[in-house]
């Protein structure tokens, strides 16, 4: 648990998290789960879709 706390307090945590999310997104978008991935991106959260919130 201390490792996780220390990681998120480090300066590089944001960059590593963003890079990890981008890699995961590319892998899922190019996998058999692509249909579910793109359908999830079209779910509305308030006035915009998830895709619009992310971008």
How do residues 2-50 score in pLDDT, each as one tens digit? 889 999 899 999 999 999 999 999 999 999 999 999 999 999 999 999 9
Residue 11: per-residue pLDDT: 92
Residue 53: per-residue pLDDT: 94
pTM: 0.70
- With cut-offs at 50, 70 and 90, classify the pLDDT of residue 1: confident
User: How far, in Å, CA of 12 to CA of 6, rounded?
Assistant: 11
Answer whether 28's CB lies under 8 Å from 37's CB: yes
Q: How far is CA 43 from the centre of its chain?
A: 15
């Amino acid at each position: 648990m201390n490792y996780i706390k220390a990681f998120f307090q480090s300066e590089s945590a944001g960059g590593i998290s963003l890079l990890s999310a981008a890699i995961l997104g590319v892998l899922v978008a190019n996998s058999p789960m692509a249909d579910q991935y793109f359908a999830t991106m079209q779910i509305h959260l308030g006035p915009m879709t998830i895709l619009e919130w992310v971008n």
